[in-house]
Amino acid sequence: MILNSLNPAQQEAVRAPLGHQLVLAGAGSGKTRVLTHRLVWLVEVEKVSPFNILAVTFTNKAAHEMRSRIESLLQIPAKTLWIGTFHGLSHRLLRAHWQEAGLPQSFQILDSDDQYRMVRRVILTLNLDEDRFPPKEAQWFINAQKEEAREPHQVEPRDMNGQTMIKIYQAYQEACQRAGVIDFADLLLKTYKLLQSNDTLRAHYQDRFRCLLVDEFQDTNAIQYAWLKLLAGEENAVMIVGDDDQSIYGWRGARIENIQRFSKDFPGAKIIRLEQNYRSTGTILKAANALISQNSGRLGKNLWTEGKDGDLITVYAGFNETDEAFFIVNRIRELRQSEHSLREMAILYRSNAQSRVIEEALMQFGIPYRVYGGLRYFDRAEIKDALAYLRIIANRSDDPAFERIINTPTRGIGDRTLTVIRDHAKATGLTLWAALEQLLQQKFFTARTENALLAFVNLITSMTEKTLPLELHKQVEYVLFASGLMDHYRKEKGEKGLTRLENLEELVNAAHQFTQEGVPDDMPPIAAFLAYAALESSEEQAEAYEDCVQLMTLHSAKGLEFPVVFLAGCEEELFPHYLSMHDPKAIEEERRLCYVGVTRAMKKLYMTYAELRRMHGKEAYHRPSRFLHEIPAELIHEIRFRAKVSRPQPIASTFKPEAQGKFRIGQEVHHRIFGDGTVIDLEGDGDDMKVKVRFAKVGTKMLIASYLSAK
């Protein structure tokens, strides 16, 4: 029953004997199904208690999906299962053992923005020059050290700047300790240090988690691998699932070496390869295999499918990036008219900067699109404001929350007043809240400022008392209105204000849904909800979309699939990126990134490049990407811009074609999207005539003549 829907390789992975397994799961090979069925097999066949299983995923979404599938297959409550991300599971352990970890029971989690503000405040407190020691750089340094499991005293300074960075790191940790907060990197570091130093606790969890399952192992960093090895100990069975060919996050700390050395660190590990692909055509898979075979040190696998070979891969050579964009848009229009909806098509690119010219072409042809990875829900300003109120209610020591809301909505408390509070907190070693209370007792402020500050203190105190007996979603709802946030954004007229109000209302729904799904028994509901919000905000998440073309970077595309994929900008110095050109390891990661892009395509793949592209402020000719040459020629149908088929075609719509010669320099014209403008240059003639127009609202654009009408 458990094995019925699985192919032979998947079955081998699911029913593997207890021990160490490395499952090399190629793109589109059904690894999620394997992990889920493996867990069910362990419980129903191997008779392992769910209590003794730990499953680690890389996103909260994947964890939710796995819990849901396991719950339906095993008919047991998902709350009893330890399934989650490295950060989520670490948070659960720290909540259970806050005393042993040296944390306050009400500790809160800083998101990236709050961490930045905390780091910046530390730099100012140390009287350092922000230009010389930028907060962003210091934030990166701190997180990088934590990901390598290094506390401040364990970091070796390379120079004077390094010594100062360590000083900032130390002061930052002390500030977090005083405020009762930790950051995301701390979740892993503090859990690792706790298990490493506490023999009794480590033995307890090693005895409990007899079987460990880890997904997306190629994306693990140093601290995550160390965390896993501590829990695994000498005897526990570890199954990792991953694909070394899809390791593309080296820039944020992921180590491909982790999956490559797993068999050495876990002797006797069996390697199982999932090579049957259920996503792409045979031609696309042959191209992907040929491409990735150029990398060295691979664990090795060869994707195949029972499906048809399908269409050849189209490679288009454009004259410049505009020509490239027009080709992509014209093909999208053709495919839309024949067999594909817009949502089935994606345009992928190496650099975010590439999207501009593509977006302009899409707008010019009236094709709706969405840039994937826009501002996430929990990252929106109004949501962060509301959560900051909840955080200060739950924990008065939360300095970043205090700073965010003391004058939001505006209540007459300026930066100068906040600086006074900060300075007093620094001088006395108090939190900002405690420093404010002390200054008010000392009658330090003018009457006007004192009244504003007292109103703020009374507001927080009152909200704390009145929300205490309420259910979680009622607490959230009360805070939204009592804080003045709803009125504040209601005054912001138009679509933007309405959207923000709807987002705040959705926060109440989120709290209600969170309660229905079950609040952990070992922590207050508001603390649990705040932790959930912080963990959710740490991930890139997609939102619901209409029928529109998807634009995204190659890094954002991992894990997604589309019937039609356009891979734009396949040129040397763009892809592979110019910063990788002289580093063989970096080139191999770029190649893995290309492999990821190619394997997103299900039916049709277009790879395009421009012979002339403006980069870094100047136009330059670039050679086609080496990755194009690594794909066998028999798999490719090449089109060049000189061919008739490659020329941009005018849109068949509401634009009224203008006769040749109708436009002249200095003439006033109108465009449906860009509005009114003045002709400043003409280029070409006939169907190819282009008109350069300076628009009042959007600046200068070069357009095909048929898109314009004379005023």
- Residue 495 binned pLDDT confidence (cut-offs 50, 70, 90): low
Which CATH number characterizes residue 64's domain?
3.40.50.300
Clarify whether 99 is annotated catalytic: no
* Same domain for 44 and 32: yes
**Counting Cβ atoms within 10 Å, is residue 657 exposed (0-12), middle (13-18) or buried (19+)?**
middle
- Residue 471 binned pLDDT confidence (cut-offs 50, 70, 90): very high
Which CATH number characterizes residue 142's domain?
1.10.10.160
Boundary residue ending a domain (503, 535, 567): 535
* Same domain for 563 and 494: no
- Residue 657 binned pLDDT confidence (cut-offs 50, 70, 90): very low
The span from the CA of 239 to the CA of 24, in Å, is 11
The span from the CA of 631 to the CA of 624, in Å, is 12
* Same domain for 195 and 174: no
pLDDT above 80: residue 334: yes
Please give the model's pTM, rounded to 2 decimal places. 0.75
> Where does residue 662 fall: left (phi above 0), alpha (psi -120 to 50 degrees), or beta otherwise?
alpha
* Same domain for 600 and 567: yes
Boundary residue ending a domain (158, 179, 200): 179
Which CATH number characterizes residue 500's domain?
1.10.486.10
* Same domain for 213 and 65: yes
Is residue 602 within 8 Å of residue 561, measured between CB atoms? yes
Residue 508: what pLDDT?
Answer: 87
pLDDT above 80: residue 653: no
* Same domain for 551 and 421: no
pLDDT in tens, 14-47: 999 999 999 999 999 988 889 989 999 999 999 9
Query: Is 29 part of any known ligand binding site?
Result: yes
Give how many domains the chain has, as a whole number: 5
CA 61 to chain centre: 12
Residue 674: what pLDDT?
Answer: 65
**From 12, 111, 186, 216, the catalytic residue:** 216
Continuous segment of H or E residues that includes residue 451: helix 447-467
**From 146, 301, 384, 600, the catalytic residue:** 600
Q: What is the mean pLDDT of the chain?
A: 88
- Whether 694 maps to a domain, the answer reads yes
Q: Which tokens belong to 479? A: 């805070």
Clarify whether 216 is annotated catalytic: yes
Clarify whether 681 is annotated catalytic: no
- Whether 290 maps to a domain, the answer reads no
Mean pLDDT of the 544-564 span: 88
Clarify whether 513 is annotated catalytic: no
* Same domain for 196 and 50: yes
- Residue 498 binned pLDDT confidence (cut-offs 50, 70, 90): low
- Whether 425 maps to a domain, the answer reads yes
pLDDT in tens, 411-428: 889 899 999 999 999 999
Query: Is 30 part of any known ligand binding site?
Result: yes
pLDDT above 80: residue 543: no
Mean pLDDT of the 295-304 span: 93
Clarify whether 415 is annotated catalytic: no
pLDDT above 70: residue 655: no
- Write a three-state SS string for 174-231: HHHHHHCEECHHHHHHHHHHHHHHCHHHHHHHHHHCCEEEECCHHHCCHHHHHHHHHH
Mean pLDDT of the 299-322 span: 94
- Whether 203 maps to a domain, the answer reads yes
* Same domain for 158 and 135: yes
* Same domain for 624 and 478: no
- Whether 153 maps to a domain, the answer reads yes
In angstroms, what CA-CA distances link 102 with 180, 181, 191, 193?
10, 12, 11, 11
Domain that residue 680 falls in = 667-710
Residue 541: what pLDDT?
Answer: 36
pLDDT in tens, 367-399: 888 888 654 567 778 999 999 999 999 999 999
* Same domain for 318 and 174: no
> What is the number of alpha carbons within 13 Å of residue 249 lying toward its C-beta?
17
- Whether 661 maps to a domain, the answer reads no
Residue 697: what pLDDT?
Answer: 62
pLDDT in tens, 572-631: 999 998 888 889 999 999 999 999 999 999 999 999 999 988 776 567 898 999 999 999
The span from the CA of 242 to the CA of 169, in Å, is 33
Query: Is 28 part of any known ligand binding site?
Result: yes
Boundary residue ending a domain (212, 247, 276): 276
* Same domain for 482 and 387: yes
Which of 105-119, 255-269, 684-698 has the weakest average pLDDT? Answer: 684-698
* Same domain for 528 and 443: yes
The span from the CA of 325 to the CA of 346, in Å, is 13
Is residue 647 within 8 Å of residue 325, measured between CB atoms? no
Residue 570, SS3 per DSSP: coil
- Whether 610 maps to a domain, the answer reads yes
- Whether 302 maps to a domain, the answer reads no
Clarify whether 31 is annotated catalytic: yes
Query: Is 144 part of any known ligand binding site?
Result: no
Rg (CA), the chain: 29
CA trace torsion 476, 477, 482, 488 (10° rounding)? 100
pLDDT above 70: residue 569: yes
